[in-house]
Amino acid sequence: MSNLTKKAKSLHKIPIARPSIGVAGRTGTWRWMKPVVDLSKCTKCYQCEIYCPDNSISVEALKGAVVNYEYCKGCGVCAEVCPAKAISMVEEEQHGP
């Protein structure tokens, strides 16, 4: 590193953003419909996990599809793509945070 670069580095902190979960907050609070998985029907085909725009449903090898309600927005894509019809969208009892 040249002296000049060293000096520049010590004088300026570049405001680099870091990858982080929840950049838009706990997006689970955006939900008005909630996906509920019937694990007895889940064939672990991964379709829901592949398409979920929020990476909020993942297939666990032994169990099946598990939803992360902290961030799931309740869009219903997973229920729509599930070939086994293992996911139903049910109304949230409580709206908002």
CB atoms within 10 A of CB 68: 14
d(CA 66, CA 59): 6
- Write the DSSP assignment of 39-67 as a string of letters: TTT-----HHHHH-TT--EEEETTTEEEE
Q: Which listed option, ligand SF4, other proteins, none, makes contact with residue 21 (CB within 5 to 8 Å by class)?
A: other proteins
x/- contact string, 27-66, with other proteins (CB under 8 A)?
x--x--------------xx--xxx-xxxx-x--------
Show contacts with ligand SF4 in window 20-39 (CB under 6 A). 35, 37
Q: Which of 15, 83, 96, 97 binds other proteins (CB under 8 A)?
A: 15
